[in-house]
Amino acid sequence: MSCPAPQQYYRTESRESAASMLPKTDGEESSSEAGGKRQKNREGSSLWLAVGIIFILALQIACTTGLFVYFSVSISKLRTQTQGTSEELRCLQIINKMEDLSDPMDYDLDGLIPNESCKKLTSSIKSYINQVTENILQRTAVKEARRSIINISEAQPHRGEYMKSSAHLILNQGSPLGKGPSEDLVSGNSFQSCRYPIRQWQLRNALSHMQNMTYHDGHIKILQDGLYYIYSQIYFRYTKQKDSRPSLGHQLVQCINKKTSYVNPILLLKGVGTKCWAPNAEYGLHSVHQGGIFELRSGDELFVSVSSLDMVYADSTSNFFGAFKLSL
């Protein structure tokens, strides 16, 4: 029986061949599996990193494109506005040059103005200027009319303003007329016939009134300069007294006086009546009325005096005293 030939083994320096040829143990198998997992994780992370980089690049490209489009639109709008503004500036320059012309109306504006937009701008400016000018002229005319009306009203006052200065006083029946003669009237020689002023005129009565004047102690005080009509009427009544001598006549005198800054009053009007009543008559009646126009100053005072207070019969419709300003 023959023996098998001996096999020859060759040794190599390659580690891979040695590793393959050597049988693996349990520790070596587990380490190889862990290395495979690590290799897979590295490949997955590299893939996600590439995807992220691609997404960022795409987003950046989109933003850049959007900004480019936005700026392009804005620049086009700005160019359009600038073009319109430049045309308006040219129109304004042309209009400004027209001021140097001797008479712009003699020149053809259509020839001077190059385009339609400039013509529209010029027409709108003209209409605006005309509207503003008309408003200013209208306001000025209204102001001048108001001033003229005020000046006319001041230069020529209304008639009602003159008539506002008036007074009318009466005597009520049974009212006291006075205490005695006035010292101012007694001192003057021309007032010997009417020395007794009537001091109790009634102002608060339905038949009395006073406007722009004042009253005190029988005197009407003037507050405005001007022409005044002054009037007065006194009703005298003589009553025969018992056990008295029959009188053949009585002197009935009424005076309208003006008191100024002078010491003595100034006599304005004087009415006189001398009556002879029958001896057997129980009473006699007589009235004295007078009036006139006089120039009066502010501060002048008017009052009425009579020859006898005892013979004055107080009656509201027969005795009155007043004045009013004239519109002359």
Q: Which residues are annotated as a binding site for Zn(2+)?
A: 276
Residues 178, 197 contacting (CB under 8 angstroms): yes
First to last CA, the chain: 186
| Sheet with 166-170, edge to edge strand ranges | 209-211, 166-170, 320-325, 226-239, 283-296
Q: Report angle CA 265, 271, 277 to the nearest 5 degrees.
A: 135
Q: Report angle CA 235, 237, 241 to the nearest 5 degrees.
A: 160
DSSP-assigned letter for residue 23: P
**Helix spans in 98-158 (H):** 109-112, 116-155
Query: How many Å apart are CA 312 and CA 48, to the nearest integer?
Result: 137
Neighbours of 254 (CB within 10 A): 26
Per 3-state DSSP, the chain is made up of helix, strand and coil in percentages (nearest 5) of 45, 25, 30
> Residues comprising the binding site?
276
Query: How many Å apart are CA 185 and CA 266, to the nearest integer?
Result: 10
**Which of 323, 324, 306, 325 is CA-nearest to residue 200?**
306
Neighbours of 236 (CB within 10 A): 24
Residues 326, 162 contacting (CB under 8 angstroms): yes
